[in-house]
A and B are shown apart, each in its own frame.
Chain A
Amino acid sequence: MNMTYDSAISASVQEKKHSIFQFSKTFPALIVLIAGIAISIFIWRFLGNQIQNDNRVAFDKATTSVVNRLESGVKENEQILSSINGLYANSVQVVRDMFELYGSIPTRSNNALLSVCYVPFVTQQSKEDFIYYAKSERYYDYAIKPEGNRDIYYPIEYIVPLEKNMHRSGFDIATNATAMSAITEAKKNNGAIVASAFYDVRPDTAGFLMMFAVHKEITDQLAAQLQGSLIDGIVMLELNAKVFFERCIGTSTPGDSNIVYSITQENSNKHVFASNNFTLSGTYSPLLIDQRKVKIADKELTINFATVPNFGGTFQAYTPLMALIGGIITSFVAAAFLLSVLTSRARAEDLAERMTRSQRRIVDASQDIIAVIGLDGKWKSLSPAVQAILGYSQEELLASDFGNLLTTDAYIKQYNGIVTSAKDEVGTSFEGQMKNKKGDILWMSWNLTVSRTDGLIYAIGRDITLQKMAEDQIKMKNRQVQLAEQSALEVSEFKSQFMRELSHGLRNNLTGTLGFLQLVTDKVYDTEDEMQSYIANAENSSEQLYVMVTDIDDVTESVGSDVAAQKQHFQADKLLLSLKENARTIKDKKLSVVQGEDSAPATIYGKQQLVTNAINELIIALTGSMNEGTITINTRPNTYEKVVEVELMVTPNDTVAEMIDLYKKNINNLVDIIPKDQNEIIFHLGLARSMVRRCDGTLLVESLGKGEPNICQITFPMGKITKK
């Protein structure tokens, strides 16, 4: 299937996305999401319950407070009755003053208490006696109200406070069914306190009665027969219902603001009291409701409680939901963040993996050797290119020494020197010859980065054999060209010199010939003999001219001079001094230059720089690749041949000897044997030879055989010793 570059990229991106969002990589985010939602629900439920419990506690506290206060109010009135009951129990007869004494204190302190009364049981038969007795108790206008004949009467006899209740004195409470019902119950309960139902105890006042019956002092047998019907009277409290409730529970406590309540009496839905905020009831759905029972003596009141609207506050009501929503949002955010982190890490891992894979491919595909070498010189890792370049497999080289492949100790020394002196983490380079598995010699260029922190050397090696061969070829060609140029220069100088000398010779000889012939022509003579001598001189000059023309080679060689301005006379020992200071081979190597014992003062005539260069080239040639040795120079004048002989004797070297032989055999064809030249020995000999000849000198190079010194003998034109 053909796949375009774009489709390949697109497929790669899809694969990458799929890879990044794999469940195996992103499941922690899902777990965080589920856990976050679960925790949110738990918090929601927990907070809800907690708030509900708190609300319940607050609600219960408020309702209990109301109930307690109400019960406390009931108890207060029961204690009043109990106190009076004690009075009747301990007294044979309770008279008005005693009753008023006991009853006045509670009526002054309890504003809900309308009155404390004693209501005697009176029959039709005892009605008149009772009225008589009441009047004797200083109720002078006492009469039973309402008037009329009835079988039994329960008229109020004693009443406290009398001033406020004068109109109630003598009122027969048996005329009220509710009151009578309570009296009947009191009679049955044998002195226990009972209460009436709520009713209008006064024409404008709703209230209720609390009472107990005062029984006659009779035997138990009789009491049993009469079934408790024989009583002296009733002690009762008339209570204003509204004031009673307000006194008990009207004063608000902090908890009251949280609740709404109403109080109904037994078997009735009519509210006998309600909280001030009861008007809200029915307008909302209360959060909590409760029903509590409170007894007033034998009567039971029902209190219906409900929470006020916004009980606990709106914020509190919504806190669990907010916690749930917040938790879920947080869970999603956390999961998204984690997913982002996981996918980022996955992307980073994916990228790193791709990069690692790419780098591995680059390393594997590299045609250079990419290697890691320990600071001890052992191979640590190698790229596959080592097989192609050096012929060894990676396994064969690992743990072996880098220096084992170098061809000479000099390279090992050079490599160690570079590694030792290299700056940390700064690249450096090393070039050297290495042997491959077949034993062939390769030129390798190594870029080395020494990391002392890692204890490793990161190395990239490239086979530069072909490059080196090309460079060598170029160098060889350059040497050939230089040699040819030197020869051409030499020839050119010879030609110029020859032409100059030829011109000089012709002009000189023509001067004689022409001069004397002009004298003859101009008749500048006095005698025939004189004329003949002129002619003879002209012939002599012509003869010299002829000799010069026929022996022109001799003329060329015999002239041996140059343009005077470029030549000079200089002491041969200056040559030695110049060599010690300037010879480049001596500077770089441990070569010593000494003056031989046969040396004698001599003056050379020639171009000093050219002579120095020639000697320098000879030293380079004769020392070859030697790093140390001695060069002995002897200079001496040869007055017979008018030359200065310079002899160089150099420490034995086989390669130099071999090259000298080759040089001598090919003395007229040096350019062609340059490819066979080793260490540029023939090249430098050739240059030196040309330079010496340009100085009108001669050069003779000899090798005395293996292990013997190599000798070079040069002659330069002798100069004149300057007299000071």
Chain B
Amino acid sequence: MEYLPNTMCVIEDNLSIRKLYVILIKKAGFDVKEFEEGIAALEWLSHNSPKLVVCDDKLPDTSGLEIIPKIRAFAHGKKMPVIAVTGFAQDGDKERYLTAGFNGYLSKPITTSSFVEQIIEIANAAQ
């Protein structure tokens, strides 16, 4: 397992949004490992420990809610900061994600000027 403290993992199926995340994270000085599908991301995460993981819920092959227990199942995944960034923003959604094991929750659309700060803050709080 490789520890990557300067790398953030992005799991997002929407290309435009994924690009936006990559731009924002890189401009903040971090490396980005991006995934369109969840299964591939899980495979990578099983061997790597990034600074944090930004995860959409609705993915082509799985969902964020299915991924999070599997990440927590890894020995190094128990304290891995994983933030749900999703378009589901109805009443109760935030609690549902936090209960499922996510360290934080951000609803779309995001505020680009503060997005990286927000996820870092959540990651720091988690650790």
Contact = CB atoms under 8 A, between A and B. Distances in A.
Interface stretch (A26-34, A115-123, A475-483, A516-524): A516-524
Contacts of A270: none
Contacts of A506: 87
Contacts of B127: none
17 contacts: A503-B87, A503-B88, A503-B89, A504-B58, A504-B88, A505-B87, A507-B107, A507-B108, A511-B87, A512-B16, A512-B17, A515-B20, A524-B23, A524-B112, A534-B23, A544-B16, A564-B63
Contacts of B23: 519, 524, 534
A638 B111 CA distance: 42
Contacts of A500: 88, 90
B20 A512 contact: yes
Given A504-B58, A507-B89, A522 B17 contact: no
Nearest to B109: A511
A656 B39 CA distance: 47
Nearest to A517: B112
A666 to B, nearest CB: 37
Contacts of A505: 87
B124 interface: no
A430 B90 CA distance: 56
Contacts of A609: none
Interface residues of B, number: 27
A389 B57 CA distance: 70
Contacts of A561: 58
B63 A537 contact: no
Contacts of A518: 111-113
B112 A519 contact: yes
B40 interface: no
A585 interface: no
B96 interface: yes
Interface in A320-358: none
Given A504-B58, A564-B65, A511 B19 contact: no
A136 B66 CA distance: 191
Interface of B: 14, 16-17, 19-20, 23-24, 27, 57-58, 62-63, 65-66, 86-90, 96, 107-113
Given A503-B87, A507-B87, A515 B112 contact: yes
Contacts of A516: 16, 20
Contact of A508 (B96, B108, B112, B113): B108
B59 to A, nearest CB: 11
Interface string A509-543: 11111111011001010000000001001001100
Given A507-B87, A511-B108, A564-B65, 15 more contacts: A500-B90, A503-B89, A504-B58, A506-B87, A507-B89, A507-B107, A507-B108, A511-B20, A512-B17, A513-B109, A518-B111, A519-B23, A524-B27, A524-B112, A565-B96
A720 interface: yes
The dominant DSSP class at the A interface is helix
Contacts of B87: 503-508, 511
Contacts of A508: 14, 17, 87, 108
B107 A537 contact: no
A512 B88 contact: no
A720 B39 CA distance: 12
Contacts of A565: 65, 96
| 10 cross-chain pairs, A with B, having the tightest CB-CB distances, nearest first | A512-B16, A507-B87, A504-B87, A511-B109, A507-B108, A511-B108, A515-B20, A518-B112, A508-B87, A541-B16
Interface of A: 500, 503-516, 518-519, 522, 524, 534, 537, 540-541, 544, 561, 564-565, 720
Contacts of B111: 518
B16 A540 contact: yes
A510 B109 contact: yes
B96 to A, nearest CB: 6
A487 to B, nearest CB: 24
Contacts of A515: 17, 20, 24, 109-110, 112
B14 to A, nearest CB: 6
A535 B110 CA distance: 17
Contacts of A544: 16
A720 B17 contact: no
Contacts of B65: 564-565
A514 B88 contact: no
Contacts of B27: 524
B88 A537 contact: no
A67 B86 CA distance: 158
Contacts of B110: 511, 515
Contacts of B109: 507, 510-511, 513-515
Nearest to B19: A537
A541 B110 CA distance: 14
A510 B16 CA distance: 10
A515 B12 CA distance: 15
B119 to A, nearest CB: 14
Nearest to A538: B16
Nearest to A522: B113
Nearest to B57: A564
A511 B89 contact: no
A504 to B, nearest CB: 4
A720 B96 CA distance: 22
Most chain A C-beta atoms within 10 Å of own C-beta, residue among B58, B66, B89, B112: B112
Nearest to A514: B109
A508 B24 CA distance: 17
Contacts of B58: 504, 561
B27 to A, nearest CB: 6
Nearest to A541: B16
A623 B23 CA distance: 62
Contacts of B88: 500, 503-504
B64 to A, nearest CB: 9
A506 B90 CA distance: 13
A707 B88 CA distance: 52
A425 B90 CA distance: 66
Contacts of B112: 515, 518-519, 522, 524
Contacts of A507: 87, 89, 107-109
A511 B115 CA distance: 12
A544 B110 CA distance: 18
Contacts of A540: 16
B108 A510 contact: yes
B72 to A, nearest CB: 17
Chain B CB within 10 Å — which of A513, A519, A561 has the most?
A519
Nearest to A515: B20
A537 B112 CA distance: 14
B3 to A, nearest CB: 27
Nearest to A544: B16
A561 B63 CA distance: 11
Interface centre among A500, A518, A524, A565 (most CB of B within 10 A): A518
A289 B118 CA distance: 157
Nearest to A534: B23
A219 to B, nearest CB: 186
A540 B18 CA distance: 13
Contacts of A509: 14
Nearest to A540: B16
Contacts of A514: 109
A98 B87 CA distance: 187
Contacts of B86: 504
A158 B89 CA distance: 183
A525 to B, nearest CB: 9
Among B16, B20, B27, B107: residue with most chain A CB under 10 A? B16
